[in-house]
Amino acid sequence: MEAFLFIPCLVEHVLPQVGEATAVVLSKVGVSPVLPKGQTCCGQFAYKRGRPDLVRPLARKFIALFEDARAIVCPSGSCTAMVRRYPGLFAEDDPWRARAEAVAARTFELGQYLVDELALTDVGARLPLRAVLHASCQTTRVLGAGEQTERLLAHVAGLTLVPLARPERCCGFGGAFSVDYPEISQAILEEKVDDVIQSGADAVITAEPSCLLNIGSALAKREVSVRPLHLAEVLAGGAI
Amino acid sequence: MSASKYDFGKAAAKALGDRESRAVLAKAIGHIRVLRRRSVDAMPDFAERRTRAVAVREATLARLPDLLETLEASVTAAGGMVHFAEDAPSAARCITRLLTDRDVKLVVKGKSMVSEEIGLNEALERAGIEAVETDLGEYIIQLAGEKPSHILAPALHVSKEQVSELFDRKLGRKSTDIPEMTRIARDSLRRKFLAADAGVTGCNIAVAATGTVIVLENEGNIRLSASCPPIHIALMSLEKVVGTLADAAAVLDILPPSATGQTLPVHLSLFTGARREGERDGPREMHLVILDNGRSKILADPLLRSILKCIRCGACLNVCPVYQSVGGHAYGSVYPGPMGSVLSPLLTDAAGDARQPFACTHCAACAAACPAGIDHPALLQEMRRRLSAEGTDAATRAFAALARSPWMFAGAAAVARSADPGLTRVAGMAPDSPVGRFLRGRVFPGLSRPFSRRFKALARRLSRHGGRS
């Protein structure tokens, strides 16, 4: 069985280890990862900026690139949610609409793919660690894949999940929001990092690369030794 | 949605610098959220209540003009008078004229956000009429010369200690004990209720079939404002109408639990018309002022009209990370938080920042909390689209142009990667630049060798080791 890797630009250029871990996890469960050439960005940034007109060409590109895939797997809730919005970018009678629908229906966030499509909750991962889960807004509320993340983590041997105060609360990133309103973004982030530190955990896990990067960059600034880990890295069980 | 001068980002940055106020706000909101969760979680049928209420709100919007006509007829039949006001100044003028024509000198007021929206207190002051806010929170705000910071709890940002200091300064009464401070306020307000020539209140729900104005409160001050003085003026925005008392009950099923975590408030009043012949109490005159102020336009806008489903419970404010951090005043408009970010820019002569819809992380906590089924992020997204269609956003266009070509995208990333260590230095030299401000609480993550260039070797390894790298 094959799955096409949909690698967010943030993962491609800033968090390549998350892409690697995703490939490792898929291989572990018997799925061969395929990386189609020529991926760039799903267009989420332009969409959130209120420019669906700029997203449309990127969506067509994505659709053409991934159309042949039986499954498209992405280590990001927000990018998956963006692709699932693609059909709405095209008019009812536009032939691209049906193509967008077909691609959107086969695009899954990693946790969704494992739990919903492969009916797996135990991928045989082992990672002895005390960690908290940051339930990313985009993965949980927007995409509705929070439960899948939790079920997968519950089966990781050695992993102890400790409670995080307000786990569902935003980390303050919000894409361009973090640059347009840096003070607000950092005030929200500061509270998230306070909660993470207070939990006493050794690591903070999330299924969303942008949250991971945001929280990780603040932990580094405060020189705290809490490891930011993506769901894929945890499921790879330290294999990379 | 024209360009505005108000800068939410600046106001927010200033508010964030006030650590003491932030702590007061965080404590108060934390308290409300616990109350709401306890109440909503304890209702096994909350989901059904919500479904029913959403259906009522949607059906109401679908026939709003008809309902308003029916409401006018019913209020008139019950001995009241209805006044339609197209915008804020005409509503304020209408009420001021009603009062000056009747030689009113003192008005007691129940909490009403619409009254804030039309700037009623300022208009009355200009007309030489004394207007006293009688909701404890509003009373505190009025004494302090401030504006409400929350649509439900206007003095949410004020601490017990600050109230104590305020009462000492303004009323000459010293106390730090909450029951005692409440008594001080009550002493001062009781005299006003008895002396007032008129009462002005808001309206949570107006029932078209019966002409009934429904108000919810915990202090009894609205009931006194509406029934003690000889004249009662109720003020509502036009979307508060529902068809029947049964429809009102459906809204009441979700409003107090979402707002204050109560099943019902302490006082639930239904006012229908003025005092009738043979009745011994109640106002001799009853007026209902119905404000449009841009809402008809919103109603005619199928992509944004659902904001009119809002029942002003405040649940979206209480879960919004932006509101929680900066508080209500930073918004520069009467309605803050998620519902306000949608509504405020759409009102006639909108106050606040026209670009407010961009000041959102898209976390969707508001939509999850909203009992009226409003999808705030979707509405804000549509408003962003309209705002962006008007302007040019060079950075977004440049990024999108690069993303259309894989080799240009990779090339740009390579350039950024080589410049990468310099960025942190630049930020250090220009701490007030966008990059500098972004990096105040963060370490620049740095760009890595792209995943796509690592993949081939990884894939080979994976296929050799059967899934173990």
A-chain residues within 8 Å CB-CB of B386? 50
Supply the pLDDT for residue B390.
62
Q: Which residue segment(s) compose the domain that B433 sits in?
A: 394-464
- Distance from the Cα of A55 to chain B's closest Cα (Å) equals 8
Question: Is the predicted pLDDT of residue A105 greater than 50, yes or no?
Answer: yes
- Distance from the Cα of B54 to chain A's closest Cα (Å) equals 20
Mark whether A90 and A32 lie in a shared domain.
Answer: yes
A-chain residues within 8 Å CB-CB of B385? 50-52
Q: What percent of chain A has pLDDT over 90?
A: 97
A-chain residues within 8 Å CB-CB of B443? 217-218, 220-221
A-chain residues within 8 Å CB-CB of B359? 177, 180-181, 184
Q: What percent of chain A has pLDDT over 70?
A: 99
B15 within a domain of the structure (yes/no): yes
Tell me the CATH number at A56. 3.40.50
* Both tokens assigned to B212: 């009934």
- In this complex, the residue of B381, B434, B445 whose CB is nearest that of residue A213 is B445
A-chain residues within 8 Å CB-CB of B399? 41, 45-46
Mark whether A130 and A100 lie in a shared domain.
Answer: no
Question: Is A183 within 8 Å of chain B by CB?
Answer: yes
Confidence of residue B391 (pLDDT cuts 50, 70, 90): low
B419 within a domain of the structure (yes/no): yes
Preferred mutation among B16, B362, B386, B468 to probe A, highest tally of A CBs within 10 A: B362
Mark whether A71 and A133 lie in a shared domain.
Answer: no
- Distance from the Cα of A47 to chain B's closest Cα (Å) equals 8
B172 within a domain of the structure (yes/no): yes
Confidence of residue B45 (pLDDT cuts 50, 70, 90): very high
Question: Is A25 within 8 Å of chain B by CB?
Answer: no
Supply the pLDDT for residue B469.
46
Question: Is A165 within 8 Å of chain B by CB?
Answer: no
Render pLDDT for B393-441 as a digit per residue (tens, 0 to 9): 888 888 888 888 888 888 888 888 887 767 777 777 778 887 788 888 8
B36 within a domain of the structure (yes/no): yes
Mark whether B43 and B158 lie in a shared domain.
Answer: yes
Render pLDDT for A136-158 as a digit per residue (tens, 0 to 9): 999 999 999 999 999 999 999 99
Preferred mutation among A47, A181, A215, A221 to probe B, highest tally of B CBs within 10 A: A181
Measured between alpha carbons, how far is A195 from A190 in angstroms, rounded to an integer?
9
B-chain residues within 8 Å CB-CB of A32? 463
* Domain final residue pick, A116, A141, A170: A116
- In this complex, the residue of B397, B413, B469 whose CB is nearest that of residue A54 is B397
Question: Is the predicted pLDDT of residue B186 greater than 60, yes or no?
Answer: yes
Supply the pLDDT for residue B1.
43
Mark whether A8 and A104 lie in a shared domain.
Answer: yes
* Domain final residue pick, A116, A148, A169: A116
CB contact under 8 A, A45 and B388: no
Question: Is A175 within 8 Å of chain B by CB?
Answer: yes
Task: For B415, name the nearest residue in chain A, comparing CA atoms only.
Answer: A13
Give which of A194, A145, A191 is closest to A170, Cα–Cα: A191
* Domain final residue pick, A116, A150, A176: A116
- In this complex, the residue of A12, A38, A184 whose CB is nearest that of residue B326 is A184
- Distance from the Cα of B30 to chain A's closest Cα (Å) equals 11
Render pLDDT for B190-248 as a digit per residue (tens, 0 to 9): 999 999 999 999 999 999 999 999 999 999 999 999 999 999 999 999 999 999 999 99
- Identify the bridge partners of residue B286 per DSSP, sorted by sequence position: B232
CB contact under 8 A, B442 and A187: no
> Residues 83-122, chain A: which have Cβ within 8 Å of B?
none
A240 within a domain of the structure (yes/no): no
Supply the pLDDT for residue B443.
87
CB contact under 8 A, B322 and A184: yes
A65 within a domain of the structure (yes/no): yes
Question: Is A240 within 8 Å of chain B by CB?
Answer: yes
Mark whether B286 and B429 lie in a shared domain.
Answer: no
CB contact under 8 A, A181 and B404: no
Confidence of residue A107 (pLDDT cuts 50, 70, 90): very high
pLDDT, average across residues A9-16 = 95
Mark whether A172 and A230 lie in a shared domain.
Answer: yes
B-chain residues within 8 Å CB-CB of A179? 434, 438
Q: Please give the angle made by the CA atoms of B397, A9 and A212, to the nearest 5 degrees.
A: 115
A218 within a domain of the structure (yes/no): yes
3-state secondary structure chain B: CCCCCCCHHHHHHHHHCCHHHHHHHHHHHHHHHHHHHHHHHCCCCHHHHHHHHHHHHHHHHHCHHHHHHHHHHHHHHCCCEEEEECCHHHHHHHHHHHHHHCCCCEEEECCCHHHHHCCHHHHHHHCCCEEEECCHHHHHHHHHCCCCCCCCCCCCCCCHHHHHHHHHHHHCCCCCCHHHHHHHHHHHHHHHHHHCCEEEECCCEEECCCCEEEEEECCCHHHHHHHCCCEEEEEEEHHHEECCHHHHHHHHCCHHHHHHCCCCCCEEEEEECCCCCCCCCCCCEEEEEEECCCHHHHHCCCCCHHHHHCCCCCHHHHHCHHHHHHCCHHHCCCCCHHHHHHHHHHCCCCCCCCCHHHCCCCCCHHHHHCCCCCCHHHHHHHHHHHHHHHCCCHHHHHHHHHHCCHHHHHHHHHHHHHHHHHHHHHHHHCCCCHHHHHCCCCCCCCCCCCHHHHHHHHHHHHHHCCCCC
- Distance from the Cα of A155 to chain B's closest Cα (Å) equals 19
Q: What percent of chain B has pLDDT over 70?
A: 97
Mark whether A24 and A97 lie in a shared domain.
Answer: yes
How many independent structural domains does chain A possess? 2
* Domain final residue pick, B265, B282, B297: B297
Mark whether A140 and A109 lie in a shared domain.
Answer: no
Confidence of residue A36 (pLDDT cuts 50, 70, 90): very high
Supply the pLDDT for residue B400.
86
CB contact under 8 A, B365 and A173: no
Supply the pLDDT for residue B444.
81
Question: Is A173 within 8 Å of chain B by CB?
Answer: yes
B328 within a domain of the structure (yes/no): no
Torsion (CA) A10, A16, A17, A23 in degrees, nearest 10 = 100
| A140 secondary structure, DSSP code | I
Question: Is the predicted pLDDT of residue B3 greater than 60, yes or no?
Answer: no
Global pTM reads 0.94
Question: Is A81 within 8 Å of chain B by CB?
Answer: no
Least confident piece of the model among A165-169, B86-90, B300-304: A165-169
- In this complex, the residue of A16, A61, A141 whose CB is nearest that of residue B450 is A16
CB contact under 8 A, B417 and A13: yes
Mark whether B38 and B173 lie in a shared domain.
Answer: yes
A131 within a domain of the structure (yes/no): yes
Question: Is A167 within 8 Å of chain B by CB?
Answer: no
B373 within a domain of the structure (yes/no): no
Measured between alpha carbons, how far is B50 from B408 in angstroms, rounded to an integer?
50
Measured between alpha carbons, how far is B296 from A210 in angstroms, rounded to an integer?
40
Confidence of residue A238 (pLDDT cuts 50, 70, 90): low
B-chain residues within 8 Å CB-CB of A40? 402-406, 409
- Identify the bridge partners of residue A205 per DSSP, sorted by sequence position: A133, A229
CB contact under 8 A, A184 and B364: no
* Domain final residue pick, B265, B297, B329: B297
- In this complex, the residue of A29, A142, A185 whose CB is nearest that of residue B364 is A142
Confidence of residue A54 (pLDDT cuts 50, 70, 90): very high
pLDDT, average across residues B127-156 = 94
Supply the pLDDT for residue B2.
45
* Domain final residue pick, B233, B262, B297: B297
Confidence of residue A239 (pLDDT cuts 50, 70, 90): low
CB contact under 8 A, B443 and A217: yes
pLDDT, average across residues B283-312 = 98
How many independent structural domains does chain B possess? 2
- Identify the bridge partners of residue B233 per DSSP, sorted by sequence position: B200, B287
Question: Is A137 within 8 Å of chain B by CB?
Answer: yes
B-chain residues within 8 Å CB-CB of A221? 441-443
B381 within a domain of the structure (yes/no): no
Mark whether A7 and A95 lie in a shared domain.
Answer: yes
Q: What percent of chain B has pLDDT over 90?
A: 80
Mark whether A111 and A127 lie in a shared domain.
Answer: no
B359 within a domain of the structure (yes/no): no
How many CB pairs below 8 Å do chains A and B form together? 213
Q: Which residue segment(s) compose the domain that A105 sits in?
A: 2-116
Mark whether A106 and A70 lie in a shared domain.
Answer: yes
Question: Is the predicted pLDDT of residue B290 greater than 90, yes or no?
Answer: yes
Mark whether A110 and A15 lie in a shared domain.
Answer: yes
Mark whether A10 and A104 lie in a shared domain.
Answer: yes
Mark whether B283 and B399 lie in a shared domain.
Answer: no
Supply the pLDDT for residue A240.
52
Measured between alpha carbons, how far is B13 from B10 in angstroms, rounded to an integer?
5
A40 within a domain of the structure (yes/no): yes
Supply the pLDDT for residue B128.
97
CB contact under 8 A, B455 and A19: yes
By three-state DSSP, how is residue A214 classified?
A: helix
Mean pLDDT (chain B) is: 93
Mark whether B230 and B105 lie in a shared domain.
Answer: yes
Task: For A24, name the nearest residue in chain B, comparing CA atoms only.
Answer: B467
B-chain residues within 8 Å CB-CB of A185? 361, 438
B-chain residues within 8 Å CB-CB of A136? none
